[in-house]
Amino acid sequence: MIQNFQGMARRLVTLLRQQGISDPNVLRVVETTPRHQFMPESLAHKAYENTALPIGKGQTISQPLMVASMTQLLMQHHCQKVLEIGTGSGYQTAVLAQLVERVYSVERIAELQYQAKRRLKNLDLHNIQMRHGDGWQGWSSKSPFDGIIVTAAAQSIPQALLDQLADGGVLIIPVGTERQALHVVRRFGDSYEQKQLGDVKFVPLVPGALA
Ligand code: SAH
């Protein structure tokens, strides 16, 4: 059991700052969110290392630097209503929920979604709505979103996510299979502006069937 995670979390935040995360709100939330509660207890001693870790069902909790970078990007665009595709452990969801007004999160594996829901409730985070569904479809009835963050790598950018972006909104999505890059897409009316950031490594955004 990890009783006192603050020291370890503080060291993680120092590392994130050295790696270019400068948003004080993002750093504060990473420092106070108990990442060790978002993984199997047998891995909890590694929770404040800057690495992705397995969470079961062949999935991973994303690397803290990636969570912080993507969150910082959403903050730079002043997002308040955010759709997350790939709830996984719920850690990214928890970070977002402490920084924006409302978070919607879609996960295709029921068991992971169930565990994430329990963790988020334990942390008293209630500005979150979750859905067991296919992220390729987004969440049309709740759209438009001023930020959409995908935490699994898509072979191509899902059209539904482009459609569900608000005017001025931003979509952050890893694209590729073996080789993946982080794409940032902004919507201006009917036109979209796209840029590519660095290489990344995510589990695949699986098409179709739920599990
Ligand atoms: N943000 C999560 C990342 C989990 S890994 C975390 O840090 O814990 C990516 C997640 O995307 C996995 O849980 C996987 O089941 C989910 N996923 C993959 N394809 C999906 C799809 N088509 N729709 C919804 N979720 C999907």
122: CATH: 3.40.50.150
Q: Please name the residues in contact with 163: beta carbons below 8 A apart, sequence gap of 6 or more.
A: 138, 140, 143
- Stretch 162-178: mean pLDDT: 97
Domain assignment present for 44: no
Rg (CA), the chain: 16
85 lines ligand 1 (CB under 6 A): yes
Q: Sign of the CA dihedral 104, 162, 141, 210? A: negative
DSSP strands (E only) in the chain: 53-56, 59-61, 81-85, 102-107, 128-132, 145-150, 165-176, 180-188, 191-200
- Find out whether 109 and 179 touch, Cβ atoms under 8 Å: no
Q: Look at residue 4 in the predicted model and tell me its pLDDT.
A: 82
Q: Is the pLDDT reported for residue 195 higher than 70? A: yes
Domain assignment present for 207: no
Q: Look at residue 177 in the predicted model and tell me its pLDDT.
A: 93
Q: Please name the residues in contact with 69: beta carbons below 8 A apart, sequence gap of 6 or more.
A: 20, 21
Would you say the pTM of this structure is higher than 0.85?
Answer: yes
Q: Look at residue 1 in the predicted model and tell me its pLDDT.
A: 67
Angle between helices 64-76 and 6-18 (to 10 degrees): 60
Q: Is the pLDDT reported for residue 157 higher than 70? A: yes
- Stretch 152-171: mean pLDDT: 97
- Stretch 169-184: mean pLDDT: 97
Report the mean per-residue pLDDT for the chain: 96
Q: Sign of the CA dihedral 62, 19, 102, 206? A: negative
Domain assignment present for 117: yes
Domain assignment present for 11: no
Q: Is the pLDDT reported for residue 2 higher than 90? A: no
- Stretch 176-185: mean pLDDT: 96
Domain assignment present for 65: yes
Domain assignment present for 75: yes
- Find out whether 80 and 104 touch, Cβ atoms under 8 Å: no
Give the length of the chain. 211
62 catalytic? Reply is yes
Domain assignment present for 196: yes
113 lines ligand 1 (CB under 6 A): no
Domain assignment present for 41: no
By 3-state DSSP, what share of the chain in percent is helix, strand and coil, each rounded to 5?
35, 30, 35
In this prediction, residue 154 has a pLDDT band, given cuts at 50, 70 and 90, of very high
- Find out whether 59 and 115 touch, Cβ atoms under 8 Å: no
Report the separation in Å between the CA atom of 18 and the middle of ligand 1, taken as the mean of its atom positions. 28
Q: Which of 22, 42, 62, 89 is catalytic?
A: 62
As a whole number of angstroms, the distance between CA 74 and CA 148 comes to 8
Report the separation in Å between the CA atom of 166 and the middle of ligand 1, taken as the mean of its atom positions. 23
- Stretch 175-184: mean pLDDT: 96
Q: Please name the residues in contact with 23: beta carbons below 8 A apart, sequence gap of 6 or more.
A: 71, 72, 75, 76
- Stretch 86-97: mean pLDDT: 98
59 lines ligand 1 (CB under 6 A): yes
Containing domain of residue 188, as a range?
52-200
Q: Look at residue 3 in the predicted model and tell me its pLDDT.
A: 73
Q: Is the pLDDT reported for residue 210 higher than 90? A: no
Percentage of the chain modeled with pLDDT above 90: 96
- Number of Cβ within 10 Å of residue 133's Cβ equals 15
- Find out whether 93 and 99 touch, Cβ atoms under 8 Å: no
Helix count (H) and strand count (E) of the chain? 6, 9
61 lines ligand 1 (CB under 6 A): yes
Q: Look at residue 77 in the predicted model and tell me its pLDDT.
A: 96
